[in-house]
Amino acid sequence: MTQTALITGATAGIGKATAELLARKGYNLVLTGRRIERLEALKYELSSKYNIDIQVLCFDIQSYDACKTAWSSLSVETQKSITVLINNAGLASGRSPIHEGDVNDWDKMIDTNVKGLLYITRLVVPSMKEKMSGHIVNIASIAGKEVYQNGNVYCASKHAVDALSRSMRIDLLPFNIKVTNVAPGAAETEFSLVRLKGDEAAAKSVYDGFDPLLAEDIAETIWFALSRPAHVNINDLVIVPTAQANVTNLVRR
């Protein structure tokens, strides 16, 4: 049976790499994001190459109304076909001490990383429950395991994802729905560029002197969890580059 995966934040980075890998594995896809041109380009590329069905939904995951409208635009058949949910959409915005933080940055991180994840999960899970099967993968962060200077609200939001993954696992256990938490360390995506608000030089310097994770590394980790036998669930995975031991210990050459 062909499976369908809904991937949030699929326009770049981990979401895009995961879409490419799952397309190669024969999954149909529902891809979401805020940049319609990128979604359409990815849809064209993957559907042409792998002969799979792809639908794109362009909306802002920070808005529950937008999430509901996008979800409602899918046919009931498509909604019921979704077997995998990759909660990938997330971001960091700013890096200030707590007493100098920008409230707009705080809202953006909490609304995207926590509430957006909740909104999509709330919409998708009922059909999984009805089928008594499904797999949710939450993209958390090593910042959800530890904290670091000036990471305050971002770390708090990813700690929330970590906690939600554990509590979802308990809530959804009776319905045979798997939940996996994937917590990457330093990965070279658009993450730093977004966090540093478009400062390309500063964003690039974040990864100077070591080999960071690539989006493809995380996609392969997600696939590992998805491809386990029916009786196996991977609860939690932390993946870091070889140069990184934890959130504060990283060797640059």
In the structure encoding, which two tokens stand for residue 140, read together? 């958390």
Residue 150 near residue 96, CB atoms below 8 Å:
yes
d(CA 34, CA 137): 20
Q: What are phi and psi of 136, to 5 degrees?
A: -110, 130
- For tokens 């999984």, the residue is 128
Told to judge if 50 belongs to the known catalytic residues of this protein, a careful annotator would answer no
Q: Which of 44, 50, 148, 154 is flagged as catalytic? A: 154
Separation CA 128–CA 195 (nearest Å): 34
List CB contacts of 53: < 8 A, sequence separation 6 or more: 4, 28, 29, 47
Query: What phi, psi does 186 have (nearest 5°)?
Result: -65, 110
Q: Could you say which DSSP state residue 213 is in? A: B
From edge to edge, which strands make up the β-sheet containing 134-139? 54-58, 28-33, 4-7, 82-87, 134-139, 177-184, 236-239
Q: Which residues of 22-54 are buried (b: 16+ CB within 10 A; e: fewer)?
A: bbeeebbbbbbbeeeebbeebbeebbeebebeb
> SS3 of 212, please?
coil
Q: How far apart are CA 4 and CA 110, in angstroms?
A: 28
Residues with a catalytic annotation lie at: 154
